[in-house]
Structure 1
Amino acid sequence: MAEFPSDGWAQAVAATVNDDAEFARIAREFDATVRFDFGEDAYAFELGGGTVRSVRDATAFSRWDVAVRAPMDTWETFLSESPPPFYNDLRSVWTQHDMTIEGDVLTAIQHWRPLKYLVAVFGEVRR
């Protein structure tokens, strides 16, 4: 279990999804850099060809296509083992709480399944 969020945690997320045939299948057309902001911390996941090509600390300015942002306490609640109602799904956290999706929102929605899958791995690696 790696500290969340941290470079080690982000690398473990990348390794986990890159070893997953299901992710490779559903993300094969998802070519984008997705930035995730966890309060003050941020990581950019470059996705392409069904893999995480790279992951980097994105607290300094970096290019991204889609940004998913929320305060740290929102992420903690959402990624908990038993999240309360309206914190148990990426879409509900986005529409019912203080998570935002910015940038190319159409790309995020078109590739919702691999995006949701990636975020689910966030919680798995965190535990």
Structure 2
Amino acid sequence: MTIAADQWSTHFKETNDTNEELNAHGKFFTCSYLLDMETKKFLIQTHAGKIEKITIDPDPLDHYQFAIRASADTWRKFSQPTPPPMYHGIWAASFKRDMKLEGDLLVLMQNLRCITTQLELLRVVGVPV
């Protein structure tokens, strides 16, 4: 079952903003990035560990610092409570699956702990694809 993108974005924001780990470690987690899920794209803008805004299917000229792109199937497997092998993290999925990391990867690496935590929230809220 696929949830609507607007419902997903609200639930993802609420789950992120109440996450204890992100509240503890997110003081400097400020960036914007794109989650490309093949049929839907989400521009996530964070500030101090909180999600300021999620733009569904942003315009091509909307700014983001890096992108994480994968097929809808990869995102569905990645978001399972217990993902199959090689879908458990962005590195595994980028080495062995179709996940691609693009853009300013320095920003990704500077925020890796928080990005990892945030993406693991997909195992709670699911994905809208």
Does TM-score exceed 0.5, indicating one fold?
yes
Q: CA deviation at 1:59?
A: 4.1
Q: CA deviation at 1:83?
A: 1.9
Say if 2:80 and 2:126, in contact at 8 Å, map to a contact too: no
Map 1:1-127 to 2 at 5 A. 3=3, 6-61=5-60, 62-126=62-126
Relative to structure 1, the CA distance from residue 84 to residue 21 in structure 2 (aligned partners, 3 Å threshold; closer, same or farther) is: closer
* Secondary structure of 2:35's aligned partner: strand
The runs of at least 4 aligned residues of structure 1 exceeding 3 Å deviation read: none
User: May I ask how many residue pairs the two structures share in their alignment?
Assistant: 126
Q: Partners in 2 of 1:50 and 1:126 — Cα distance?
A: 20
Q: What's the secondary structure of 1:27's corresponding residue?
A: helix
Secondary structure of 2:83 counterpart: coil
How far does residue 2 in structure 1 lie from its aligned partner after superposition? 7.0
Distance (Å, rounded) in 1 between the aligned partners of 2:47 and 2:102: 19
The superposition leaves residues 54-104 of structure 1 with CA deviations (integer Å, 9 ceiling, x where unpaired) of 111134322111111001011111112332211122221122211011111
Q: Which runs of 5+ in 2 are unaligned?
A: none
3-state SS of 2:76 partner: helix
SS of 1:92's equivalent in the other structure is helix
Q: TM-score, normalised by structure 2?
A: 0.88
Scaled by the length of structure 1, what TM-score is found?
Answer: 0.89
Q: Give the RMSD, CA atoms, in angstroms.
A: 1.9
Give unpaired runs (5+ residues) of structure 1.
none
Preserved CA contact (<8 Å) 1:34 1:45:
yes
